Amino acid sequence: MNRTLVAAVLAILLFAPSMVAQSRVSESGDQAANADSQSVHERVITVSRSGEAFAKPDVGILIMSIRSSSPIADEAVAENGRKAKAVESALAHLGFAPGAYQLSSAIIGQAGGPRFPGQPDITAYDAVQYVYVFFEGADLTDVAHLTERSGAVIEALRKAGAVPANAGGPQFGPVVATAQGALIIYTIKDASQYEHQALQVAIGRARDAAQDIATAAGVQITGLRNVKSGYLSGNVMPRSGPSPLEGLRYRWLTTKIDELQIIANATLEFDFK
């Protein structure tokens, strides 16, 4: 395939968001199976390959939650509002400006988990809000300092009525698979260049594999028929209930303070003769 065509394909992939499918947080069975595959059918060589890029996180996120229950929904919301004000006051006392933390809107649900046909009427309501405290800059370069500061935040928020976001059972939704059980997860503010790198690696591997197949089969690739791309990681999973990730705008999350992996997948279809 000529260089002009390759460049055009990369440009389309990297700058046309509609062509980049957003996938689940962790690899599903189908995605994992298609991450590294190839086939030849009706004079079309189809190759799927994955590519990765690595970034150093520049944001740490401590996730806590505020939860209140009451037989009356309004009372649950009001109690959560009182706790939210106490949380904001505690964070201000620790020197956190409003932009250094975030509270999600209240999520109202029934207490006691999912309901099934034949169950009695709801007798209590839950109000849930998530608290995100952001650490940046020097906080991420000194692990001992981060541990001490985050410990102080956790204790202050506990006294204000907050609890770890993953406490309270599975009805509140899982943290991402790689971050389950973690109080602090890490991300990067602008991941676009790393997304581009991962896609380029995936496309290059798929293109090279297709050429290897054509050479081994004694055929000639005549053109690129179709390209599909997507990500095999990311905070863009469908959810059935409240999740500690609900209010975060960041796509990529990790429990590693020094490494964030971004994985992309590309499927290329080539005509041959």
Query: Are 227 and 258 found together in one domain?
Result: yes
Range of the domain at 93: 59-187
Which residue is listed with tokens 């608290």?
131
Q: What pLDDT is attached to residue 14? A: 33
Tell me the CATH number at 230.
3.30.110.170
What is the average per-residue pLDDT within 180-200? 86
**What whole-number percentage of the chain has pLDDT above 90?**
55
- Listed residues 168, 187, 206: the one ending a domain: 187
- As a 3-state breakdown, the chain gives helix, strand, coil percent values, each rounded to 5, of 35, 30, 35
Q: What pLDDT is attached to residue 4? A: 38
Query: Are 36 and 145 found together in one domain?
Result: no
Is-contact 213 38, C-beta < 8 A? yes
> Any idea which of 3-17, 87-101, 142-156, 170-184 has the lowest mean pLDDT?
3-17
Query: Are 135 and 173 found together in one domain?
Result: yes
Which residue is listed with tokens 């952001």?
134
157-175: pLDDT as tens digits: 999 999 988 654 333 333 3
**How many Cβ atoms sit within 10 Å of the Cβ of residue 120?**
6
Query: Are 48 and 67 found together in one domain?
Result: no
Q: What pLDDT is attached to residue 23? A: 29
Q: Which of 165, 149, 130 is nearest to 60 (CA)?
A: 149
Residues 6+ apart with CB under 8 A from 19: 12, 13, 227, 229
What is the average per-residue pLDDT within 248-270? 91
Query: Are 32 and 47 found together in one domain?
Result: yes
What is the average per-residue pLDDT within 109-127? 70
Query: Are 93 and 143 found together in one domain?
Result: yes
Average pLDDT over the chain reads 79
d(CA 255, CA 187) in angstroms, rounded, equals: 9
CA 12, 250, 175 angle in degrees (round to 5)? 125
Terminal alpha carbon distance of the chain: 13
Q: What pLDDT is attached to residue 166? A: 64
What is the average per-residue pLDDT within 49-78? 93
**What whole-number percentage of the chain has pLDDT above 70?**
73
Q: What pLDDT is attached to residue 175? A: 37
Q: What pLDDT is attached to residue 267? A: 96
Backbone angles phi and psi of 131, in degrees to 5: -115, 125
d(CA 95, CA 107) in angstroms, rounded, equals: 28
Name the β-bridge partners of 41.
44
d(CA 169, CA 163) in angstroms, rounded, equals: 12
- How does 14-49 read in b/e, with b if 16+ C-beta sit within 10 Å? beeeeebeebbbebeeebeebbeebebeeeebbbbb
- In the numeric block, which tokens belong to residue 52? 């990765």
d(CA 169, CA 172) in angstroms, rounded, equals: 6
Q: Taking 50 as the threshold, does the pLDDT of residue 12 lie above it?
A: no
Q: What pLDDT is attached to residue 122? A: 62
Q: Taking 50 as the threshold, does the pLDDT of residue 20 lie above it?
A: no
Rg of the chain over Cα atoms, rounded to whole angstroms, equals 24
- What's the residue count for the chain? 273
Query: Are 173 and 74 found together in one domain?
Result: yes
How many structural domains are present in the chain?
A: 2
Q: What pLDDT is attached to residue 47? A: 96
Tell me the CATH number at 71.
3.30.70.2970
- Listed residues 149, 168, 187: the one ending a domain: 187
Query: Are 128 and 214 found together in one domain?
Result: no
- Identify the band that residue 24 occupies on the pLDDT scale cut at 50, 70 and 90: very low
Query: Are 156 and 94 found together in one domain?
Result: yes
Query: Are 67 and 105 found together in one domain?
Result: yes
Query: Are 74 and 178 found together in one domain?
Result: yes
Query: Are 267 and 153 found together in one domain?
Result: no
- Listed residues 157, 187, 217: the one ending a domain: 187
Which residue is listed with tokens 């595959």?
37
